[in-house]
Structure 1
């Protein structure tokens, strides 16, 4: 049966030489913040999955050259190098295109010079000079301090797309050109990321240097890190979450236990908490040189991410069980929602502990003093995330080179290269050290401040050292050779020609390690208004949504959806695709958060659908109230007159009749977008099906029509809007994933919920393959605002 529909998005990068058929991917790429490498090769597909932040796309498509061939941040002769030379992966029978890594605006463009241009044939080998510079304005979290600006530089392009122009809006995955030659090496590009110091401070949440006393809260993503000071108590058995020190005197029925180490842990430790479906706790300790090295890791806690709701609820229940009987007002049970956040992030983010509430976050970990339970909420323990760029995650900030030339005279870098601690760094020693893996890792996470090599001003002063004896040179350059080099460098330079008043001055540049930068922000789960608006279709069965209206809706819902995504969906783009596909049909593409008709004529009456996933029935509202510990109503008047102090209501479909009063007013789930988001997130992670729980478990199977159908049944229980949900998933995945197909539309097949002659699709988990399908056409024709 054919069912052909058209669904339009507002844009899609479509400049591509060779069309490839579109098919929904079965892999699970993570695309939280919309950023990707400058190469996206179909021959090396994204094989990442929902549990590995960033997947392996950087490994597959950011093939960095060796330290002697254009590595970051220094060369073999210890000259500063602000970016990396990347080898283009193969895309079929040709080199992959160079693509924009994120949405932005072109601020500089230079077409490639002619083949016979003498200055591009330095030492008789060709170096291409095609260049594009893009300004990116984006957000990594909430508030002004999380609004950041950076610039991506793509140099040595063999060709530049003829349709590009300075001032033009550019989108992620748009083709910029083709890779070229770098001193005869093909196909390669020079790729770098720069910003000024004001933006760097926003990126890392502080001035460059060590982390502060606590991690930032306006931006939180990636792994959670705990700094655990020496002297912290360590216990053999898991303490009650009411207890902050289990060696203290007995509390009610809870008996104390001695610390495994009477004086506490013998040294400062750092604990990394990583959720990848499972949860893994890894312990780091500091060596004599100040490096944080892995000491060991506890066995992974299986399915911990999927079971967080159950774990949070169970810990909440421990505050009301018999173990604390008799202590009265001294115990105020924290909400499961607040516990959920502490288990997820090490602290409250959206739902913090209220007055009188206490919760101690006990985790078992490996330490030099033995394996035991440590209180990660104890005073003195400091909590961070990857958004803090902590030193124990490998990050460092280098700005101590006092010289203006291109030679690296940074004491910090030289100390790293001094692998035998002799105090002298020879050229031979530098070459050896730059190939040592530990040194390469430090270099690969060093954010460095030094003058750009692409400025026309001061060229001779920067490179004058090449005319003098130096151990990295076989012979110093003659005046004639030096002038030839200057002509070559001058033709490659472009810094002063960039048409952007905020572009960092040539001597005030902070350079990010490019590969680490892309990896880092593929774990960031915060979308800008424009990025969210791009995910709203321009045309679908629900009607048309012009760009201005899509932008208005995205502006209204951005904060709530980002907060929901961070708390309940993690870093996975696949989960987000599924959530939006279901939300769009439930909310009329974010046009409403309550059911039309207000439940009149429905069995659930005043407990009609509200929120992003349309919570219904009193039992659903009751579960949400328990999860958030929402206070009972003040007074006796509800927003809906069908609810009174004495009214009774059918509790669930086919369930008993119960009184709702004095519980909270259900209207808050629609009147507050925060509640609309929290209630939907709770429903998503608490949903039970086929002996399992948590819709993320189903979403992690991939964006396939069968999975979309299965989740549609979990959300809606029927076929309402089923075709739309399939359309929406296909479109959103195309926009948020690294798919580079050039087709403007495609036909996909998807299973009906009840295939003729087969078991119902919703009865199996994982969803069983089916042969009976419907056909649907999805259009990707770009409509750039």
Structure 2
């Protein structure tokens, strides 16, 4: 799933994703569009967002993910009459769009997900000829923000899903993870890894002498004083292990050696020599998810963990340690499912939430007493009709102030920001009295609302309601509401690409040399490419997760900028060039392996045995073929007497024919060449204009990507950057990279002919189905 915020301010180099989202999603404060409740304890299913400015202009509203238009309503023309329903408390725009998103966050049926995004209070709908079920793509401009109670440039933004989607999206239906008895899901595993450390696990002064051994000979330094949790985070070469309590308090942090992530291929080989591929998964996921096996099966995973008493070595693969990922939404990081408000009204009666915020702690209003009982109590007195701030002796005022103070506390907001709640939609028209009738009775917040005010509110709400009109399929009026910013933040770590998203990574045209001139040719989505996308999707996504490519959109763009070009737009998994000097060890797979040394390196990574005499023979044959330009030295008939077996020839062919090998060989090559180190650098796009054959051609180049391309094509980056131009198909690779940046990232800076910066390259045509 690829997902973005509904506003896209210009990116800042080196900015964290959290910081970017904080700029992009200026969320409502308590009392002003806060999720999930207001001061009067009314459920609020989304959050109010203030549209950011760019160069003094208000940013448009965009689709957060690919989807279909499920419902739209053009905004009502502004009517400033006092009795206009939408002028209640100041003009409120009621333009609305609802998108239905159906995508994937992992493998198999259990990871296919459906959710809806709601964009309310639009002053304009920007979609051309909108129709229900029309395709809408991530980052498409869908509208303009409007007014909420007279305040301009705001929208109400909401993300919702039905009961059936919760186990798919969240991985569970229980409020919290059963972390002591079972590990997390494996069908969807992405982002950071998390480990439960029970008190009986021992921390040592050093790891085992043999990294795979379960017990260390070192001194026992510590045991966890309570249930603790370790988060393992990889980013830009670094690996950080942070230690948390069950309440989510971070009590320690340990950083692995500099460049640990970039060196992961070598580290896996040294710690798990019998099968480095399985060891790599242990270091990445904390468990083995692929087809390769650990040797021994219970091999240890030694890591240094910070405790309040100091750092100690723990085996994170011990029998009582359980492992999770961000896809499990760990509750010690705040993620909880809350469904304990059993009535159908809009008034929050969730015992869990009320206890969380200590809303019932006022001794005059113990939770055992009903609202009606409280209102009839002889000590319940309403202050005279004065401005509310003067009601200092009014219980209603005091309780409301209590609620405000609690909800406004940073600690309370932190506890709420990752909770997912089930309650009725506020956008229904027909059940208004069911949801809001409680306002006509004395409540914990004061006396009943006058009937005339209630009727005005009812008309105002009816003017904004749409639920019955929308007729949304596969979701009921009472459904799950996700914290919008946190939902987007966590799923931006997912990186699992659907078939449609993979298809978009193919550019619509590409430049190549023909008869010494540049020509532009259309890139068609061939039947073979479609078949390959279907066959490769699952193992490719797993490989992107395993080799930490999916952790970064810049890494993915650099990966696909090479892979789509190398495979002739996903049309060929085998170069099959019998005249090449390295044939039959010619290019196979997604990042096409060439020369026998790369095949052997991949085989050994997978735990396959290759005799030393054969390696020597292959090395000598490689040298001879390179010197003479003849592939006769590499012929299978020349090598079979020296140890090349039919099984090895099948292994070589598997890189073409088996999707798991086609994708894992590409990931392994990416890892051992440390291409990520180059891809992590901030790209600067340069507009290139070339005259050829009396025509002018425009494309974009990037030195950072050029070095990744050199690493893929040559095996290492180049010292002389002018040699990047010698990379095979470098112009087409640049075009594929440019297209991938547009598909995968938020916004890049592309200079146009006048030097003005644009979010899209010139020219550009997106691939649409």
Query: Do they fold alike, i.e. is TM over 0.5?
Result: yes
Which residue is 1:40 aligned to?
8
Which residue is 1:762 aligned to?
none
More helix by share: 2
Q: Does 1:394 align with 2:334?
A: yes
Partner Cα separation in structure 2 for residue 427 and residue 708 of structure 1: 57
Question: Partner of 1:676: helix, strand, or coil?
Answer: helix
Question: Partner of 1:125: helix, strand, or coil?
Answer: coil
Question: Structure 1 residues 241 and 85 mapped into 2: Cα distance closer, same or farther (>3 Å)?
Answer: farther
Question: Structure 1 residues 422 and 363 mapped into 2: Cα distance closer, same or farther (>3 Å)?
Answer: farther
| Conserved 8 A contact 1:37-1:58 | yes
Which residue is 1:148 aligned to?
113
Q: Does 1:586 align with 2:566?
A: yes
Partner Cα separation in structure 2 for residue 120 and residue 48 of structure 1: 47
Higher relative contact order (CA 8 A, sep 6+): 1
Partner Cα separation in structure 1 for residue 416 and residue 37 of structure 2: 8
Instruction: Using the TM superposition, give the Cα deviation of residue 101 of structure 1 relative to its aligned residue in structure 2, in angstroms.
Output: 0.4
Instruction: Using the TM superposition, give the Cα deviation of residue 472 of structure 1 relative to its aligned residue in structure 2, in angstroms.
Output: 3.2
**Which digits, 9 at most, give the CA deviation of each residue in 1:491-512, with x for residues without a partner?**
111111114321x2112x1000
> How high is the TM-score relative to the length of structure 2?
0.82
Aligned pairs for 1:753-772 within 5 A: none
Question: Structure 1 residues 713 and 370 mapped into 2: Cα distance closer, same or farther (>3 Å)?
Answer: closer
**Which digits, 9 at most, give the CA deviation of each residue in 1:157-209, with x for residues without a partner?**
11112622222111111111110111111110000000101111111112132
Question: Structure 1 residues 359 and 748 mapped into 2: Cα distance closer, same or farther (>3 Å)?
Answer: farther
Question: Structure 1 residues 472 and 479 mapped into 2: Cα distance closer, same or farther (>3 Å)?
Answer: same
| Conserved 8 A contact 2:506-2:767 | no
Partner Cα separation in structure 2 for residue 373 and residue 479 of structure 1: 67
| Conserved 8 A contact 1:120-1:127 | no
Which residue is 1:690 aligned to?
none
Instruction: Using the TM superposition, give the Cα deviation of residue 119 of structure 1 relative to its aligned residue in structure 2, in angstroms.
Output: 3.8
Partner Cα separation in structure 1 for residue 323 and residue 506 of structure 2: 36
| Conserved 8 A contact 2:334-2:415 | yes
Which residue is 2:663 aligned to?
677
Flag structure 1 segments of 5+ consecutive residues without an equivalent.
1-32, 248-255, 318-332, 634-642, 688-693, 750-775
Aligned pairs for 1:326-341 within 5 A: 333=274, 335-341=275-281
Q: Does 1:432 align with 2:405?
A: yes
Question: Structure 1 residues 115 and 463 mapped into 2: Cα distance closer, same or farther (>3 Å)?
Answer: same
Partner Cα separation in structure 1 for residue 229 and residue 665 of structure 2: 34
Partner Cα separation in structure 2 for residue 457 and residue 160 of structure 1: 26
Aligned pairs for 1:589-608 within 5 A: 589-597=569-577, 600-608=578-586
Q: Does 1:614 align with 2:592?
A: yes
Partner Cα separation in structure 1 for residue 132 and residue 542 of structure 2: 35
Q: Does 1:219 align with 2:192?
A: no
| Conserved 8 A contact 2:683-2:704 | yes
Question: Structure 1 residues 47 and 415 mapped into 2: Cα distance closer, same or farther (>3 Å)?
Answer: farther
Question: Structure 1 residues 452 and 627 mapped into 2: Cα distance closer, same or farther (>3 Å)?
Answer: same
Which range is displaced more, 221-230 or 607-616?
607-616
Partner Cα separation in structure 1 for residue 486 and residue 112 of structure 2: 20
Aligned pairs for 1:13-28 within 5 A: none
Partner Cα separation in structure 2 for residue 197 and residue 669 of structure 1: 42
Partner Cα separation in structure 1 for residue 189 and residue 45 of structure 2: 28
Which residue is 1:565 aligned to?
544
Question: Partner of 1:134: helix, strand, or coil?
Answer: strand
Instruction: Using the TM superposition, give the Cα deviation of residue 621 of structure 1 relative to its aligned residue in structure 2, in angstroms.
Output: 1.1
The one of 254, 263, 278 aligned to 1:298: 254
Instruction: Using the TM superposition, give the Cα deviation of residue 242 of structure 1 relative to its aligned residue in structure 2, in angstroms.
Output: 5.2
Question: Structure 1 residues 648 and 453 mapped into 2: Cα distance closer, same or farther (>3 Å)?
Answer: closer
Q: Does 1:282 align with 2:265?
A: no
Instruction: Using the TM superposition, give the Cα deviation of residue 61 of structure 1 relative to its aligned residue in structure 2, in angstroms.
Output: 0.6
Instruction: Using the TM superposition, give the Cα deviation of residue 244 of structure 1 relative to its aligned residue in structure 2, in angstroms.
Output: 4.6
| Conserved 8 A contact 1:237-1:372 | yes
Q: Does 1:481 align with 2:453?
A: yes
> How high is the TM-score relative to the length of structure 1?
0.81
Which residue is 2:605 aligned to?
627
The one of 661, 664, 688 aligned to 2:644: 661
Which residue is 2:723 aligned to?
none
Question: Partner of 1:240: helix, strand, or coil?
Answer: coil
**Which digits, 9 at most, give the CA deviation of each residue in 1:696-751, with x for residues without a partner?**
0011113331112222222223332011111111121112211288x9x95699xx
Question: Structure 1 residues 168 and 369 mapped into 2: Cα distance closer, same or farther (>3 Å)?
Answer: same
Instruction: Using the TM superposition, give the Cα deviation of residue 538 of structure 1 relative to its aligned residue in structure 2, in angstroms.
Output: 2.2
Q: Does 1:359 align with 2:299?
A: yes
Q: Name the count of aligned residue pairs.
A: 670
